[in-house]
Amino acid sequence: MPLNKQKIKEKLEKERDLLVEEMKDMGKLNPETGEWEAQPEAQDFPESDQNDQADRFEDFESRSSMIKDLSNRLNNILFALKNINKASFGRCEVCGKDIELARMEANPAAKTCKKHLES
């Protein structure tokens, strides 16, 4: 059975929108670099002690790594959307065989078959 590209495209677009929404909660897109950056929480307590500042820094660090994670996923999805009409779409980029349908349904941005799962 051939891939239902229309269905996959819709799924990818939905995932893309969800990811962007999630990322908007934590940071913003830097128009100069085109990269997402974590936003520190507003410093509305100038008298806060050092513990507070350390907490805030940790919070910022974890936001940064979450944003990085989300933007990797977003890039995969954008890549898949860009290539969805190419003949190579849905084929494993290691062995060139068709990626299992179940895998494509679970992760439409997959670039490899189950055997060559990206780490």
Would you count residue 95 as binding Zn ion (CB under 5 A)?
yes
The answer to whether residue 12 forms part of the interface with Zn ion (CB under 5 A) is no
The helix, strand and coil proportions of the chain, stated in percent and rounded to the nearest 5, come to 55, 10, 35
Least distance from C-beta 12 to Zn ion, angstroms? Answer: 21
Interacting residue with Zn ion among 8, 67, 70, 92 (CB under 5 A): 92
Give Cα 51 distance to the centre of its chain. 32
- Residue with tokens 């999630």, as numbered in its chain: 22
Q: Judged by CB under 5 A, which of 16, 91, 103, 116 binds Zn ion? A: 116
Nearer to Zn ion, 67 or 113 (CB): 113
- Distance between alpha carbon 1 and the CA centroid of its chain, in Å? 28
Min dist. Cβ of residue 107 to Zn ion (A): 14
Q: Amino acid identity, residue 8? A: I
**Structure tokens, 69:** 């994670």
Q: Interface residues with Zn ion (CB under 5 A)?
A: 92, 94-95, 113, 116
